[in-house]
Amino acid sequence: MKEIIAIANQKGGVGKTTTSINLASCLVKNNYKVLLVDFDPQGNCTSGIGLDPTSVEHLIHENILQNKPLKSIIKNTSIKNLDIVPSNLNLATLETLVLKNNIKNPTKVLKASLSELEENDYDFIIIDCPPSLSFLSLNALNAATSVLIPIQCEYFALEAVAQILSVITKIQKETNPNLDILGFLLTMYDNRTTLSTMITTQVTGTFKEKTFKVQIPRNIYIPEGCAQGKPVNIYKPNASGSIAYNQLAKEVIQYVEQKARK
Ligand SMILES: Nc1ncnc2c1ncn2[C@@H]1O[C@H](COP(=O)(O)OP(=O)(O)OP(=O)(O)O)[C@@H](O)[C@H]1O
Ligand SMILES: [Mg+2]
């Protein structure tokens, strides 16, 4: 089993990074080997897992532009079986450098990098995308076998989803026919607000079985854990956020098992 999951939504602050880190950690808890790819120059995924983005010396650039092995760029985290391709602000220069150096298939450079990994190095690769639908996100969607779309229970959530869906359809037709929609995930859910219930009804009504059964609640222990470089299932195992991300991991595993049977 090897699933490459892009966590994408061009809308900012919807829980992409939080979901990348916490889903990864919960998959590890289920005995899977996971590689996180921080593909956002903000470096939030890198810091959220406990590494300092400013002290990261080797970026994926060196693999793409200088053929340095990807494995020399991958870093271990404090969690066994959870590794990361780290990022920092310099990742923002990747597009310009790829174009300047006439690298073939510019929107497939991440796919080429990941193809260096052996089949059994990792069971899951999770790519944290930036809040845009440009070069870095297109690379993530071309490298992925599936995409998970976090949706924050806020105004304009569905407009953003319509935009990303049209990009996904284009990618499926033109460059990555293997890209499947893993699911839509409602994040920062608060059942006391009518907006949360309203968005949930709209999303489940529109996307039906593609909406994850679990909703991620707004839970203070999630950002608190991130600030300390700890996924919530390690920081506060019994917190509602931890229970929800564990449930998400189970649904993702079920999806992958079903896919393998097809
Ligand atoms: N379930 C939650 N409960 C409470 N706070 C949360 C939850 N999920 C995310 N947050 C907080 O909301 C903010 C945005 O989350 P996050 O950084 O994961 O979003 P993002 O989509 O990756 O943002 P960006 O588009 O900037 O990359 C962060 O401060 C994060 O700690
Ligand atoms: Mg982010």
Q: Which residues of 14-48 are buried (b: 16+ CB within 10 A; e: fewer)?
A: bbbbbbbbbbbbbbbbeebbbbbbbbbbbbbbbbb
Q: How far is CA 168 from CA 23, 34, 53, 133, 212, in A?
A: 22, 24, 30, 10, 19
Joined together, the tokens standing for residue 32 give 């899977």
Q: Which atom of ligand 1 is nearest to the CA of 9?
A: 21
Render the burial of 60-98: b for 16+ CB within 10 Å, e for the rest.
bbebbbeeeebeebbeebebebbbbbbbbeebeebbeeb
Give the per-residue pLDDT at 1.
54
Whole-number average pLDDT of the chain: 95
219 lines ligand 1 (CB under 6 A): yes
**pLDDT digits over 229-251, tens only?**
999 999 999 999 999 999 999 99
Both tokens of residue 155? 């105004």
Q: H or E segment at 162?
A: helix 157-174
The mean pLDDT of 71-93, rounded to a whole number, is: 97
Nearest CA to ligand 1 atom 2: 218
Nearest listed ligand to the Cα of residue 186: 1
Residue nearest to atom 13 of ligand 1 (CA): 13
106 lines ligand 1 (CB under 6 A): no
Closest ligand 1 atom to the C-alpha of 189?
A: 1
Q: What are the sequence ranges of the domains in the chain?
A: 3-261
Q: Which of 59, 12, 23 is nearest to 250 (CA)?
A: 23
Share of the chain above pLDDT 70, in %: 100
CA of 29 from ligand 2 middle (Å) equals 23
Residue 28 token pair: 């590890």
Is residue 67 scored above 60 in pLDDT? yes
Tens of pLDDT, residues 186-232 = 999 998 888 888 888 888 888 888 999 999 999 999 999 999 999 99
Distance (Å, rounded) from C-alpha 201 to C-alpha 213?
12
Q: Is residue 56 in contact with ligand 1, taking CB distance under 6 Å?
A: no
Higher-pLDDT residue of 226, 155: 226
Is the full-model pTM beyond 0.75?
A: yes
CATH topology for the 3-261 domain:
Rossmann fold (3.40.50)
Dihedral sign for Cα 134, 140, 142, 144, please. Answer: negative
Q: Report the C-alpha gap between 98 and 261 in whole angstroms.
A: 38
Do 240 and 225 contact (CB within 8 A), yes or no? no
For residues 19 and 227, the answer to whether their CB atoms sit within 8 Å is no
